[in-house]
Structure 1
């Protein structure tokens, strides 16, 4: 008889809606695979359709429920599960909070799967040997960026589209100013300098809303037709999206 597989999802702080795609990805994993078990270093209090266990319960749950597969997101978490010491490593910044269960993964021969998504220790300067290390030891690698798929030919390329039901398409009236919103955490990949360069060349027909931790970069904007909102929760952000004509999450020049 074929042995039934059982998936466990491992995260640091979860369920945390502000984590964005990580929250909604797991929401849909729960729908597709209802018997999935969830573990967090720091269980949070946001609503989620399954119990989230503290990481200290992991080995007991492996034995009790027959966990066979482990999934996590981000390079630093995958390396931690592989026993790599990434604490204080400037090349792969992250947390060793998952390192404690590496022996359990080896002891029960659990299969590791991960998504190597930008952030979490993966940026343009990350040496490729760290990506190769994950590729050698993970059963499955999902990604949405070429720098991973170019190094790991067996990785599975999946565009990052999540929770589209949270937003409904609403036709906007043609009127000025045209309102744009740039929403992103402060990171090199987001292209904020390019946004600034472009927006500084626009006239009063355009107005920009900026969401995220960009307060230190605002001085580069000479076009003052903007509002800085700082960080917003999902419901606040949705209301702002409804007001705007164009949404920008990152700018990539090729």
Structure 2
């Protein structure tokens, strides 16, 4: 299958390893991955903060850049949710065929074992967009359970928000810090040495709190684990 990668602006600018990991997994499974160099932001930040005119322009550009692709994959649940849920209101019609990475593997390719090896104790943090906007459910967990050498830790109150919420963390900093403190406490209780999720934005927030505590716990995108990266 020929798959277009929408890497997302956050990953492109700050976490390129995440995008490379998606490519590595898909190519390992025998699929061709193409990258449209004209891609930019999906407009999520603009949409969620009320700048709908600006979001519409980015949405139309996204549709033009990815026109003709039957499958678009992104390692960002929040961006996938924006395209799927906001674009019909912004530009009308059916949204582009964007799939979050784990749902593409499980639902489209019908794969849970991607041949990954990751010898660590890992806690999975389900992000709000993945749970509530996309309804990913246990898809990420099904993939993680097939990773060789990995011990999957149980995270108490996993479905509670980490406190990031995009601009929420800026506009409501005190509340955001209190929320991530609760999240980090539960994560450290798992004894995991790695925390993973399907949104690097949330991992940035959690990782910052873990770093300030000098916890020694790393954050990695789930795609990196499936690629066998970061041993």
Normalised to the residue count of structure 1, the TM-score between the two structures is 0.36
Q: Which has the larger radius of gyration?
A: 1
Higher helix share: 2
Q: Which has the higher contact order (CA 8 A, sep 6+)?
A: 2
Structure number having the greater strand percentage: 1
